[in-house]
Amino acid sequence: MGALTDYVQFVLMPQMFNGLTIGVAVILMALGLTIIFGLLDVFNMAHGEFYALGAYLGVTLASRGVSFWLLLVLVPLLLLPAGFLVDRALIQRVFHQKERHMLTMLLTFGLAIVMEDLFKAAYGPNTLKPDSPLQGGTELLGNFFPTYRLFLVGIGTFTIVAVWFIVNRTRFGSMVRAAALDRHMAASLGVPVRRVYSTTFAFGVALAGLSGVLLSPIYSVFPTMGKDFILMAFTAVILGGFGSIRGVVLGGLVLTQIQALSSLYVSPVWGDPIVFGIMVLVLFFRPQGLFGGRLGHA
């Protein structure tokens, strides 16, 4: 009996907590993806690179002496104009063509490759490891948890709730939802649809950047970090049903728990194949996602 409670307390709980830490970060990323998809109908393949951009920006600014706490606000703010520009200069160019999905996918995929190379050119191929701003651990329920991770879960949850609030309870959010449901109708009701598009894209990208800053003390910073992470985020979105905020939260949590717990029994090498397997199974048998629904419906 004691062995079992020990197992739960010292093996299962820390592992599930680690899963939760990643889960919150995945959800932040996936939220951006799903909002961009829900509104613009665009699969942003460069989302992972915006996450990396956030992390790199954080590293650079930190080396100039900017405090980590300020970065949490500054980096997303800096990414807003970047996202706005990408939408205006690239995505809107092909947005109105018949093959929108594929063209935007190719475009953002190309952007991802270019960005990754730029990171490499600017920062070199090596891994950078920023110091954790919160050292040490905190005792909770008889376990020691790294304080920074607790902070991450807290601020991540706060952000997720804030996003939900913005989308569902603000004027801007209702314009976004209106434009997602029917952009022509929204336009004729006076919603500045193009601005809403670009702002939403920027908003999604900023969320990815925030995720990058938050995770950089845990996972370090390297040029391919975006590509390594994006599959998770996409799977969370697919699991949750494209465009659904509630779905993406549940999807992200379920996925990261599966990954965290499975790594207790199989080599972590198989973490990615498991995630991918889940994605394929969901696409096969429930393409609308497990908790499906479009932006504005859930």
Partner 1 sequence: MDTLDPVLPLQRTAPPREARASTVQGRLAQVFIVLALVFTAVAVPLGDTFFLRLGTEALIFSGLAMSVDLLLGFTGMLSLGQALYFGIGAYASALVLKHVTPSFWAAIGAALAVSTVAGSIAALLSIRARGVYFALITFGMAQVVSKVVYNTRGIIGGSDGIIGIPQIQVNLGLFRVDTASGPAFFLLVLALMLLAYFGLAYLLRTPAGRLLVAVRTNEARVPFLGYNTRQAKFLAFVLAANLAAFSGALYPMLRLPGAHVLPRLRRLRGHGHHRRAGDAHRTHLRKRDRHRAEVGPGNLHGALSHHHRQPLHARRRGLPPRPGGGNRVARGAASRGCPMTGAVPILEVCDLSVKFGPLMAVNEVSFAVRRGVITSVIGPNGAGKSTLFNLVSGAVLPRGGKVLLDGKDVTGERPERLVRLGLSRSFQITNVFPELSVRENLRLAAQVLEPRSKAFLPTRASALTLERVEELLASFRLTERQDELAGYLSHGEQRRLEIAVAAACRPKLLLLDEPTQGMSHGDTQDTAALIREIGKTVTILLIEHDIDLVMELSQHVMVMHQGKKLAEGSPQEVRGDPAVEAAYFGKAHAAN
Q: Scanning residues 82 to 101, which ones bind partner 1 (CB under 8 A)?
A: 92, 96-101
The binding track of 18-57 with respect to partner 1, each residue x by CB under 8 A or -, is -------------------------x-x------------
Q: Least distance (Å) from partner 1 to the CB of residue 294?
A: 10
Selected from 11, 77, 106, 264, the binder of partner 1 by CB under 8 A is 106
Give the C-alpha separation, 167 to 201, whole Å: 13
Single-letter residue type at 48: G
Q: CB-based contacts of 232: which residues, under 8 Å, 6+ apart?
A: 22, 26, 29, 255, 256, 259, 275
Told to check if 238 binds partner 1 by CB under 8 A, we report: yes
Residue 217 CB-density burial (10 A; 0-12 exposed, 13-18 middle, 19+ buried): buried
Q: Least distance (Å) from partner 1 to the CB of residue 135?
A: 30
User: What Rg, from alpha-carbon coordinates, does the chain have?
Assistant: 19
Told to check if 140 binds partner 1 by CB under 8 A, we report: no
Q: Scanning residues 187 to 206, which ones bind partner 1 (CB under 8 A)?
A: 187, 192-194
C-beta neighbour count of 146 within 10 angstroms: 20
Give the C-alpha separation, 156 to 26, whole Å: 10
User: Which parts of this chain interact with partner 1 (CB under 8 A)?
Assistant: 43, 45, 92, 96-103, 105-106, 109, 113, 116-117, 125, 183-184, 187, 192-194, 224, 227-228, 231, 234-235, 238, 242, 269-270, 272-273, 275-276, 279-280, 283-284, 287-288
